[in-house]
Amino acid sequence: MAEVLEVLDISKSLKLIKLRSLYLSKAKPGQFFVMQYQEKPERIPLFIMDSNQNENTITFLLQKSDDILNIEIFDNIKVGQRLYYVEGPAGKPFPLLENKNILFVSMNWGFAGIYNIAKYLKSKNNIDLAFIDTDSVNLEVLKPFTTIFNNVYEYSSIDTFGQNGKHYDVIVSAGSNELAKELVSIYEDKEVVCAVITRMLCTVGLCLACRIQYDGKMKLPCVEGPWLDASKIDFDDLNRRHLILKDVLVRSRKS
């Protein structure tokens, strides 16, 4: 069982958490894990922000949402607790890129996934960060992480985000499907890669809960993602499915 070693508040709805976990500390850049906080069989997929194989630890960001289970975890997670279950590392590692100008665009908790990849790609590429903060994040707390970027641009919402006049070869986003969809329309002629956000139960390709429509076919982000070409994702279908699953979950919790 993974033990919670540190919990740091970095906004009213975002916490930076360090866990001890031998298996998760072996994660490759871009992989994620699934957390089951207590015996109730609901799992939350989370980005691995950083890992340390010498200490057998990982860090991640937990964001409070309007989901009742998420609120329960957010309000109660404490140093010294042992989580009921964690599974991973899951998903495909991010591919190695070289000699590219890369713009990383993160929104709130998505910064965890972005940081993990940016750290990996930094030595062979130029990397900038566009940080969309809708949550009054204390960027001072994140400073040890944001200093790896050549330039950092801050925005208060997806609506205020715009091109900064620089040339980029690749755009990488995490934290919001809506953001990824918006980036596809802003950077029409560029490669836009995003970490798609879906419900996940098994993370091994069996339950089909995470399935999305991708380039006209079914894709399973738990084993074939989470980093995918955003221009091929059917976001309307994804949103529709997300609402249906949310409804099913609420009903099953009441029964």
- Select 87 or 191, whichever has its Cβ closest to ligand FES: 87
User: Where is 10: in which H helix or E strand?
Assistant: strand 3-11
Q: By CB under 6 A, is residue 63 in contact with ligand FES?
A: no
**Alpha carbon distance 159, 157 (integer Å):** 5
Determine contact, residues 179/107, Cβ cutoff 8 Å.
Answer: yes
Per-residue HEC secondary structure of 141-154 comes to HHHHHHCCCCEEEE
CB under 6 A: which stretch of 3-11, 15-23, 107-115, 205-213 binds ligand FES? 205-213
- For ligand FES, the binding residues in 209-238 under the rule CB under 6 A are 209-210, 220, 222
- What pairs with residue 9 in β-bridges? 15
Q: By CB under 6 A, is residue 203 in contact with ligand FES?
A: yes
For residues 144 to 183, the per-residue mask of contacts with ligand FES, x marking binding by CB under 6 A and - elsewhere, is ----------------------------------------
CB of 118 to ligand FES, least distance (A): 26
Of the candidate residues 7, 202, 245, 249, the single one contacting ligand FES (CB under 6 A):
202
Q: In degrees rounded to 5, what are phi and psi of residue 154?
A: -110, 140
Per-residue HEC secondary structure of 199-238 comes to CCCCCCCCCCCCCEEECCEEECHHHHCCEEEHHHECHHHH
- Select 171 or 194, whichever has its Cβ closest to ligand FES: 194
Of the candidate residues 1, 71, 208, 250, the single one contacting ligand FES (CB under 6 A):
208
Of the candidate residues 22, 96, 206, 218, the single one contacting ligand FES (CB under 6 A):
206
